[in-house]
Chains A and B, each alone.
Chain A
Amino acid sequence: MISRREFLHGAGALIVSFRSAGHGLLQETHGRAGTHASSMDPDQLDSWIAVHADGTVTACTGKCDLGQGIFTAQTQLVAEELCVSLAAVKLVQCDTAVTPDQGSTAGSQSTPTNFNVQDLALAAATAREALLSMAAEHFGENASRLSAKDGAVTAPDGRRVAYAELIGSKKFNLPVDQHARRRSRNEWTVLGKAVPGLDHPALVTGTFEFVQNVRVQGMLHGRVVRPPEMGAKLIAVDEGSVRDIAGLAKVVVREDFVGVIAETQFAAIQAARQLVCRWSPGPLLPPQETFFEHLQQLPSRDELLVDSGDVSTSLAKADRVLRARYTWPYQMHGSLGSSCAVADVRADQATVWSPTQSVYPTRSCIAMLLNRPPESVRVIFVRGSGCYGLNGADAVSFDAAVLSQGVGRPVRLQYTRQDEMMWENFGNACVIEHRAGLGQDGSIVAWDRENWVANRGSRPGYDRPGNVISGMLLGYEPESQEPAPAKPPTRKLRNGSNTVPEYFAGCAGGACNGSGSVQSERVLTHSVASPFYTGPLRSPLRIQNTFANECFMDELAAAIHADPVEYRLRHLRNERLRGVVMAAAKAAQWESSAGRGAATGSEATGRGFACVAYEGDNGYAALVADVVVHRITGVVRPVKFTIAVDCGPISNPDGLRNQVEGGLLQGTSRALVEEVTWDAKRVTSVDWEGYTSLRLDYEVPAIETVFVVPDNVKATGAGETSITVTPAALGNAIFNATGARLRQAPFTPARVLAALEAGQEARSA
């Protein structure tokens, strides 16, 4: 048994030390653990920070690095607030026996949570102030006359005392001070610097330990055997069919869950391939060709985000009314590495090494599945392949735990490519319809927006394992979404999914929280049942909604021959959003290039604009996309992206730039080629031949990134800003180049050619 205290002292070889130490759980103080027990009280400084006798610092965070660089940025944050060197900080991420419960690492919330006024930053600031007070006593000086730097406190007369001397290895025994002074941006020495990724040396040399590389003594290898089609039920398993496989340890069957466990991966794969299971057929899937029409016919759970009550009247009085319908397909996280977890379930306690974004919720769900108290389960985050949201990470952790319980030994489970792609929680398919009325001067006088979102499951949270496939196969239902009509909006608008276009006043609940000026407004959302599991995929619903909103805004501008940037600014009130719109336009020299694109031979060039106030107020981005459209092949090739981003004070400019660049290209892949496909029975895009992604031979467009940092604003999320505006900017650029409007993503060559043809017919009619 190892205590958390000992753990913190020995921090460094984290996984190894725990594995050899017998997976001890520990109980310290019980804090605000009301709904889900955590032994780490977030109100206590010692839950976050420990200063050791050797001068190093261990900091604990509930926000983990998924490849987005937050490990490095949070290490910078602790070093900055605590006034120690970067090298002195050891950051421990997401371990239910060690770190406080910070929910999920998701929704661009890590920076707002840990860098603004709470949690990790505040703990580090509290620790600095506490050490300054101790030094004041030590020197017999007033704390305000002392300064902290490099892990030591200096008095005006030059006397110096190291933190280790003041506290070394003792607990602070202090609450986190909600009023601890944060270091201001002009004091920063570590934050705000382009610190290279602390994980990069291990990554480039192949020594980094992903969860796929976790090896536990006595570990067996598992594989799951999924149903052949959606909704199939297990009738029988013929265990005799794998009796001849040497090294087979066990076939685990529970409800509709089937898995095999063997001494080696190869034997497990052979067993999974060879095991004969009989399944009842599932229901037929709705045809993909007419799927969006199908979605709009389904019973729905409705929500009105804003409704000024006068939209129909205003539209009837408008000078002109425009309508358009946009669609977005199911898309995959498609993590490069298929999901993997290692579980060691013993009689008294269970340990699961998991790539989950949500260690505490995953712990609770695993406890449910294993039928034991959450306190006896420990979930340790170990990074997997980039996930971009809810990939198979939670599901594989559940499966691994069930397999380990079934065999009574540690089990490593990695999905096959097909397990991953056939059963993950896809990004939601959506239909969005717009109706907007224009006044005599061309300005928008009313806007009515309605959308349909296909939903099934999502993050499992603390008690919904059925929200992912593993839980359903084990007998748990996904969260229900009973059809229900919408009630009039009474709450203030929170535009977390960017459903409400930026140009809406967004008036509800006595406040106008939109970014724009359109007063006659209605936004109605229909949530309908999806035949496939769905869940958050990088910029969940924000990318779908922004695509439809920003392309339709472009249609409105085009209808009155207005400049798309000028037309946006005409309807935007939010200063930060206006700021990035103007910054992107300036950087791209938008004004000098305004007007219809140019065509030479078979190639047409054009540029498109799009902007977003991410989640309403969690990051601002505006993008100019320059594209070439090949009129014969229908291939769209972006040649330049010029983007302006305002996410407040920047922790690590190079890390941010990396995220912005990756987001632009991931957004391009999703706008141009990515789409889940299926037939009457099952998903058919189950490998990299069936599901297309831009590969490394793709000719990357030039990228110019401009950061806008207003004074006196707080840090916002940033990692999902650029991807959110990319599809719309590309769609608008295609229109600018060719006059063809793409309202269905992805913009495959066939769809581009069809739109070009439709545009020509419209012109000649």
Chain B
Amino acid sequence: MVEQSWGQDLCESGMARPYAPPVWLAMKQVLLVNGKEYTVYVDPATPLLFVLADELHLNGPRFGCGMAQCGACTVMMGTQVIRSCAKPVGSVGNAAITTLEGLGTPESPHPIQQAFLDEGAMQCGYCLSGVILTAKALLDARPDASDAEIRDALGGVLCRCFAHARMLRAIQRYRDARHPS
């Protein structure tokens, strides 16, 4: 006889699993997302991703793995990129959150988004929050980052369509346009 649990720790035969204590602490929280304030009532342990997707109805950050392994849920917190699937909303405080939607619009894309358009740098596009925001955060901090540094920064990001070549070209195009060498 075995019992089922979720996540990494698949049950071992015969081992009982203690119940988690009741956790439902819906608390008021004010979030600053893409320049706007939102008040939500959620369990502070809820991953930020679910609040952004299900409460704020944002489409940019998306669930990929729930374990901070792939980058599909990436958002910016201040000037840093974080994995919103592994970030309890209660720990966000009043930090400014920026999602892919917060950079530009289809009518008026941010220059890095425009660079991706110019290079046709996507296939299914599910990974773009991780790719674009990670590159932007790096180049905000280090405008003259080398190609190798850009690749290093993207080491935690997956694109399963393998549009890598075009994405790197788009990032280089954006870098070179704002920081001519």
A→B interface (CB under 8 Å)? 66-69, 196-197, 199-210, 212-213, 215, 221, 223, 225-229, 232, 235, 241, 244-247, 258, 264-267, 269-270, 272-281, 334-338, 340, 383-386, 388, 414, 416-418, 654-655, 658-659, 661-666, 668-669, 682, 687-689, 693-700, 703
Contact = CB atoms under 8 A, between A and B. Distances in A.
A235 B162 contact: no
Contacts of A665: 162, 164-165
Interface string B58-75: 111111111101101000
A337 B45 contact: no
* Chain A interface, >50% SS class: loop
A67 B128 CA distance: 13
Contacts of A196: 117, 120
Given A200-B122, A205-B106, A212 B43 contact: no
Give 4 closest A-B pairs by Cβ, nearest first.
A206-B60, A67-B124, A206-B100, A246-B24
Interface in B15-41: 17, 19-24
B175 to A, nearest CB: 15
Contacts of A659: 123
Contacts of B151: 696-699
5 contacts: A204-B132, A278-B1, A383-B124, A418-B7, A696-B168
Contacts of A689: 69
B54 A265 contact: yes
Given A199-B125, A274-B20, A264 B50 contact: yes
Contacts of B159: 336, 696
Given A204-B113, A266-B45, A665-B164, A336 B54 contact: no
A688 B65 contact: yes
Nearest to B68: A688
Contact of A67 (B21, B65, B125, B164): B125
Question: Which of B13, B54, B160 has most chain A Cβ within 10 Å?
Answer: B160
Given A205-B113, A336-B158, A698-B164, 9 more contacts: A203-B122, A206-B129, A207-B101, A246-B24, A276-B3, A337-B63, A385-B62, A666-B160, A700-B168
Interface residues of B, number: 80
Nearest to B104: A205
B53 interface: yes
A682 B126 contact: no
Contacts of B141: none
A706 B162 CA distance: 20
A336 B64 contact: yes
A658 B120 contact: yes
Interface of B: 1-8, 10-11, 13, 17, 19-24, 42-43, 45-47, 50, 53-54, 57-67, 69-70, 72, 99-101, 103-106, 109, 113, 116-117, 120, 122-129, 131-132, 151-168
A178 B57 CA distance: 46
Contacts of B3: 228, 276-279
A197 B99 CA distance: 22
A685 to B, nearest CB: 13
A226 B154 CA distance: 33
A696 B69 contact: no
A663 B4 CA distance: 38
Contacts of B57: 215
A278 B15 CA distance: 11
Contacts of B153: 697
A207 B46 contact: no
Contacts of B63: 212, 337-338, 340, 414
A560 to B, nearest CB: 36
Contacts of B160: 334-336, 385-386, 388, 666, 693
A205 B53 contact: no
Nearest to A697: B155
A284 B66 CA distance: 29
A269 B6 contact: yes
Contacts of B123: 67-69, 386, 658-659, 662
Contacts of A383: 124
A699 B152 CA distance: 10
A621 B7 CA distance: 42
B157 to A, nearest CB: 5
B7 A697 contact: no
A129 B27 CA distance: 64
Contacts of B126: 67, 210, 335-337, 384-386
Given A336-B159, A695-B157, A275 B4 contact: yes
Contact of A207 (B45, B59, B120, B161): B59
Contacts of A212: 53, 62-63
A276 B17 contact: yes
A662 B163 contact: yes
Nearest to A68: B123
Contact of A337 (B72, B99, B105, B167): B72
A2 B49 CA distance: 35
Contacts of B5: 273-274
Contacts of A207: 59-60, 101, 105-106
Contacts of A202: 106
Contacts of A247: 24
Nearest to B20: A274
B65 A338 contact: yes
A142 B123 CA distance: 46
Contacts of A199: 125
Contacts of A232: 2
Contact of A264 (B54, B158, B166, B168): B54
Nearest to B59: A213
A210 B59 contact: yes
A722 B160 CA distance: 16
A697 B138 CA distance: 14
